[in-house]
Amino acid sequence: MKNSQNGRGAQRLWRGLTAVTPSVLALALSAQPLVNASRTDIDKFLGTQSSKTVTDDTGEKQDLFTYKSDYAGTGELLNAIEDLGERMSEEGTVLLKNNGALPLSAGEKGKVSLLGFSSYYPVRGGIMGSSFIANQGTDADTVDLVQALTAKGFTLNPDLQPLYQGLESVFTTEVQSWGGTITYTTIYGTRTYAVETVKIISNSDWSYLQATSDDRITLTTCLADHPESRVVVQAVETRS
C-alpha cells in the first residue's frame, strides 16, 4: 500500500514538472529580447558587466590598436601625396580637340550652367568631424553658390535653374539636418530619436555623457578651427 502511494506521488510530481517546464521555457524565450534591449540599464542597476572585449595573448609583444604608417616620416608622406596627385592628373586629364568652341565669344562669357542638386542646395558641414556656423550681418555673409555667382555678374542657365528649383520639395540628402530625427538600427531593432539639443561646448565638458532618466543618444564631434570646443547633439527616443 505504501509503495502504491509513493508511486502515485511520483507520478503527480512528474506531471507537475511536465506542465511547468514548457511555461518556464516560453517565459524565458519571450523575455530574452526585452532583457537584451535593457541590458545597459540592468547592468547599471546590478553593477554587472554583460560583455567584455578580450584580446587573445599570442605571446608576441604586438600593438594591435595603433595604426602603423607605411611612411617613415612626414616628409616621405608629403612626397607620396604629391606623387599621387601628379599621377592622378596625368591619368585623369583628357585633352579635347578645339573645334571652334574656344575662345569664348564676348556674348558667351559669364554664362554658367550648374549641374546637380548640391549646386543649388549645398550641404554645409557634415555629421562627423565638421560643422557649419553661418555668418550674418557682416561683410562676409554666408551665401550659396547661386547667390555668389549672381553677385559677381554671372548669368545662370535659364533652363537648368528653374528645373532644380522646381524639384526642391523632393530633394533629399544623406546628411541629417540639425533639429530633425536620428534613426539608430542594431540587431535588436530600430529606434528613432528626436533632436532636442545642438550646442557648442568645451572639449573638457563631459556633463552631457552623464546618465539620464530617459532614453537618449548623445553625439559629439570636433568644431572646425576651434580645437578647444566640441559640438554636442542630444536626441530623445520617440515612442509610438
Put simply, whether the predicted model's pTM sits higher than 0.85 gets the answer: no
Does the pLDDT value for residue 86 go beyond 80? yes
- Supply the pLDDT for residue 3: 52
Residue 153 belongs to a domain: yes
Evaluate whether residue 133 is within a structural domain.
yes
Residue 202 has pLDDT above 80, yes or no: yes
Which amino acid belongs to residue 15?
R
> Can you tell me the distance from the alpha carbon of 199 to that of 201, in angstroms, rounded to the nearest whole number?
6
**pLDDT score for 84:** 92
146 and 120, same structural domain? yes
Grid cell listed for 104: 569664348
Structural domain ending residue among the three candidates 170, 191, 213 = 170
The answer as to whether 226 is a domain residue is yes
| pLDDT tens track for 33-77 | 776 777 777 777 777 777 776 666 655 556 655 677 888 888 888
Whether residue 118 is contained in a domain is answered as yes
Closest CA to 232 of 198, 207, 196: 198
Residue 141 scores a pLDDT above 60: yes
Most confident of 23-37, 58-72, 173-187: 23-37
Would you put residue 217 in left (φ > 0), alpha (ψ -120 to 50) or beta?
A: beta
| pLDDT at residue 174 tops 60 | no
Percent of the chain with pLDDT over 70: 72
The domain total for the chain is 2
Q: Which of 37-46, 82-91, 139-148 has the highest mean pLDDT?
A: 82-91
Q: Do 231 and 185 belong to one domain?
A: yes
Q: 80 or 198: which carries more pLDDT confidence?
A: 80
Same domain, 122 and 165: yes
CA-nearest of 233, 229, 166, 225 to 196 is 233
Q: Mind listing the pLDDT tens digit for each residue in 93-125? A: 877 788 888 887 877 888 888 888 778 877 655
- Position 76 in a domain: no
Indicate if 225 and 195 belong to the same structural domain.
yes
- Domain-ending residue, one of 132, 148, 170: 170
Q: What is the pLDDT of residue 82?
A: 92
DSSP string of the chain, one letter each residue: -HHHHHHHHHHHHHHHHHHHHHHHHHHHHHHHHHHHHTHHHHHHHHT--S--------SS---TTSPPPSSSSHHHHHHHHHHHHHHHHHHH--PPP-SS--SPPTTTTTEE---SHHHHS---S-SSS-------SSTT----HHHHHHHTT-EE-TTHHHHHHHTGGG---SSPPTTSEEEEEETTEEEEEEEEEEEEEETT--GGGS--SS-EEEEEEEETTEEEEEEEEEEEEP--
Across 83-97, average pLDDT = 86
Q: Is residue 123 part of a domain?
A: yes
Whole domain around residue 142: which residue ranges? 111-170
Which cell goes with 18? Answer: 511536465
Please indicate whether residue 82 or residue 67 has the higher confidence score (pLDDT). 82
Among 170, 190, 213, where does a domain finish?
170
Shared domain check, 227 and 188: yes
Which of 117-121, 171-175, 190-194 has the highest mean predicted lDDT (pLDDT)? 190-194
Please check whether residue 194 lies inside any domain of the structure.
yes
- Kindly indicate the confidence band of residue 83, based on its pLDDT and cuts at 50, 70 and 90: very high
